[in-house]
Amino acid sequence: MPTAFLPFASRFFVQNDGARQHYLDEGQGEPLVCVHGNPTWSFFFRDILRQFSAARRVIAPDHIGMGLSDKPQNYPYRLATHIDNLERLLAAVAPDGKINLLLHDWGGAIGMGWATRHPDRVGKIILLNTAAFLSPQMPPLIALARTPLLGDLVIRGLNAFVRVANVTTTVKPLPAAVKESYAAPYDNWRNRIAVARFVQDVPMNARHPSYAALKRIDENLSLLRGRPLLLQWGGRDWCFHDWFYQEWLRRFPDAERDHYPDAGHYLLEDVGEKVIARIAEFLKN
């Protein structure tokens, strides 16, 4: 696995079911907790760790099944489980004080799931092309990847979800070494288990096992009003497109926001310098 782009010490936390969760923990001070989505991992936040860990503490976990965490095959890869895992990890490594959140993709629902359980511990919130509420629509590519049997074949057998993400989530082409690093943890059928399960866990109706959990998060987002919130949004995202951006503004009309019309879903890759500078300003102020 390439390591040149992730020069940080790996740490592991053993969850109560025995699964080892990998996380990065750099710097000192009030934590900035970075929560990734699918099919990324803590590598997505490498420049955040580089830029901010000199002045503050930065924690970036890999969800169970993702990145360098264990990838159990018979595991409840559900939204509530990921929130529980984050809750236990933070209780162990950052049990006191305020926590700032930087959330991307599925990390929005997971991070806001934790935040709505612990609103008194939330400092500032930064959202990057994400959601923590139900959506009436699903992108065609995601719908295709959820097709029974075909979805597992395409995602786990052909690694299509990671491959497609590496070429469709940015406006600027990713360097080959960066593509390789994003794909490295997902190098065989077994290791792509959570990539497939995350796709299958998107709830579109009340019969879905994660529907109630996501609905509850949305209903409790009001507990976070008054917390400083910053939206950083790539306008050329085919998955978390501008409908989601407007939904965040509807829920948090006082949020600070920057919309980057020429950035994609992986906006830290497309406009990373601008986004990092804006986050630095937001955290400082």
Q: Which superfamily does CATH assign the domain made up of 11-284 to?
A: Alpha/Beta hydrolase fold, catalytic domain (3.40.50.1820)
pLDDT digits (tens, 9 = 90+) for 40-64: 999 999 999 999 999 999 999 999 9
Whether pLDDT at 101 is above 60: yes
How many Cα atoms within 13 Å fall on the side-chain side of residue 57? Answer: 15
pLDDT score at 142: 86
- For the segment 106-118, the average pLDDT, to the nearest whole number, is 98
Per the CB < 8 A criterion, the answer to whether 202 and 142 are in contact is: yes
pLDDT score at 2: 47
Whether pLDDT at 4 is above 90: no
Whether pLDDT at 166 is above 90: yes
CA distance 42 to 31: 15
pLDDT score at 285: 84
Please state the domain extents for the chain: 11-284
CA distance 278 to 237: 20
Closest Cα to residue 6, out of 31, 26, 35? 26
Cβ-based neighbour number of residue 207 at 10 Å = 7
- For the segment 69-97, the average pLDDT, to the nearest whole number, is 98
pLDDT digits (tens, 9 = 90+) for 139-150: 887 888 888 888
Quick check: helix, strand or coil at residue 113?
helix
Token duo for residue 101: 């959140």
- For the segment 250-278, the average pLDDT, to the nearest whole number, is 98
Mean of the per-residue pLDDT values of the chain: 95
Cβ-based neighbour number of residue 114 at 10 Å = 24
pLDDT score at 68: 97
